[in-house]
Structure 1
Amino acid sequence: MQQPPETKIVDSFRIACDGGEGALGHPRVWLQIPKDVGWVECGYCDCKYVHKDHTDKV
């Protein structure tokens, strides 16, 4: 059974995702969280990054 994607609360609107897990991750990508939406998902690993000011919208 596959686990759901991870959700991380962050304090910056621009973050980097590399999938974690060292060599088992993915290439580092920079993601921009839209200020009006408050969250963004990584296109590689589907990890959801939520800005701390928008945790009530998720």
Structure 2
Amino acid sequence: MTTEAPETKIVDSYRIACDGGEGALGHPRVWLQIPHESGVVECPYCDAKYVHADFKDKA
């Protein structure tokens, strides 16, 4: 059995919310702050990776 890689999302804001995106099967909504230095943050619940649009070529 293989495990799918976590989703990577390109976003325009440095502060984003993640709720797992699966309605009742998701997770509690968490607010994440993307660091201006790296441009990347991962959700502690679902491991989704959020990349700021300014860093999409570097991540």
Deviations 1:15-41 (A, max 9, x none): 000001100000000000000100100
Q: Which residue of 2 aligns with 1:22?
A: 23
Name the TM-score, length of structure 2 as normaliser: 0.95
Q: Which residue of 1 aligns with 2:48?
A: 47
Name the TM-score, length of structure 1 as normaliser: 0.97
- Tell me the amino acid that sits aligned with residue 42 of structure 2: E
Could you tell me the percent identity over the aligned residues?
A: 74
2:21 and 2:33 map into 1 onto residues whose CA distance is: 18
1:30 and 1:44 map into 2 onto residues whose CA distance is: 12
Question: Which stretches of structure 1, 4 residues or longer, exceed 6 Å deviation after superposition?
Answer: none
Which runs of 5 or more residues in structure 2 are unaligned?
none
SS of structure 2 residue aligned to 1:46: coil
Q: By how many angstroms is 1:55 displaced?
A: 0.7
Aligned length: 58
